[in-house]
Amino acid sequence: MAVFEYKALTEAGKTVTGIIDADSDREARSKLRKKSVYATDLKVSEEGISLKSDLTLSKLLQRFSLKDLAVTTRQLSTLIKAGIPVIQALTAIIDQLEASPLRKIIIQVKETVNSGGTLADALAEHPKAFSELYVNMVRAGESAGALELILGRLADYNEKSLALRNKVRAALVYPIAMSVIGTLVVVFLMVKIVPNMVNIFIDIEQSLPAPTRALIAISNFLQSYWWVLLLVFMLLYFLKKRIGATAKGKYFFDKVKLNLPLLGQTARKMAVSRFTRTLSILTASGIPILRALDIVRNVVNNAVLADAIEKSREAVRHGDSIAEPLRRSKVFPPIVIHMIAIGEASGKLEEMLTSVAESYDSEVDATVSGLTALIEPIMIIVMGAIVMFIVLSIMLPIFQMNMSIG
């Protein structure tokens, strides 16, 4: 099945454009006529394959990023707020995107809306591009007649999520680069430099100090059994992926992640921030609390917290509060529980949740900066100690020889 781009006239004489899936030119025209749309220009799309194909969508999303979605959402919110109809707003977005991988998806969305579907239904046809959170909020916005407001909130949410993610990634670039470069340097020394120096000591037939013997043993192992280390790392990675794919395995690894020194607290704060911000934006948008908790459970990206949220959801279903089951889980910080409890009691839950999210975003930012400042000197000290060990292990026999000659 191919994809055809068309220009056509409606029965009212209005010119429309879009794309349609069909096996042939004739079938494409027939499909358009059934929609009371008459093609004046029809050609095969440059991609030439169905947008609904999983393979095609996968290719389109290879360069798809949260930044693209955030920018597109903000532009759509601005256009609709200015009074521009959804179809025209989508047309403007399509023209703006140009070569972006999101462009074809928005074209398909526009065609669905143009055929009488709602924007939420059109977005739901592309679950890999638009999350359940996104679709449900747009649906709520359409129902309440406040689509521009909801899209604005979604844009804020995506922009803040993107900013936090970029901060964390930027903070990790230097430590990761240092680790990789340092490891490569040490391996090079152990595999190329040390063996040459060792040959000199062996020729002299002199008893070697313990550090030198240890260095030689490590060097010989790396030269002879490097493939064993590679195999072990690959096996561990494979086991982690297999075990992590199961519910119990994911729960175990997520629990370990939360209990890691320093990094565990950062992971917990990021998950709590995502939970409170998402729940806040959903409740403020009029999503029923049970549905909101169900969506939030799937976006926290941590099985331990997701399990606590699910128990809270079941408790709410039976008339309980949100805060009490979260308190019993002992995975959420006490301050978060208190803020949620106050919000429920005062009827200002979304405001309290937003305050918690803002607070934890700031804490994550400060923690990440602090960890970066702490990791850098630790890495320098560790790498320096390794290099010093190698240098001393090489120099000790030389000092020993000088002393014996003297």
Total tally of structural domains belonging to the chain: 2
pLDDT of 231: 93
The CB-based long-range contact list for 369-376 (8 Å cut-off, 24+ gap) reads 369/171, 371/171, 371/262, 371/263, 371/266, 372/171, 372/174, 372/175, 374/262, 375/175, 376/174, 376/175, 376/178
Q: Which amino acid is at 230?
A: L
pLDDT of 2: 56
**Has residue 195 been placed in a domain?**
yes
Q: pLDDT tens digit string along 329-352?
A: 888 889 889 999 998 888 888 889
Q: What is the b/e burial string over 77-114, where b = at least 16 CB atoms within 10 angstroms of the residue's CB?
A: bbbbeeebebeebbbebbeebeebbbbbbbbbbbbbbb
For residue 37, the cross-strand partners are 10
Kindly state whether residues 343 and 207 are assigned to the same domain. Answer: yes
The domain that contains 2 carries what CATH number? 3.10.20
* Domain end residue (candidates: 50, 65, 81): 50
**Has residue 367 been placed in a domain?**
yes
pLDDT of 405: 63
**Has residue 73 been placed in a domain?**
no
**Has residue 335 been placed in a domain?**
yes
**Has residue 157 been placed in a domain?**
no
d(CA 40, CA 186): 68
Range of the domain at 351: 174-406
**Has residue 144 been placed in a domain?**
no
**Has residue 185 been placed in a domain?**
yes
Kindly state whether residues 183 and 329 are assigned to the same domain. Answer: yes
Kindly state whether residues 232 and 381 are assigned to the same domain. Answer: yes
**Has residue 10 been placed in a domain?**
yes
Low-confidence ranges of the chain (pLDDT < 50): 1, 47-63
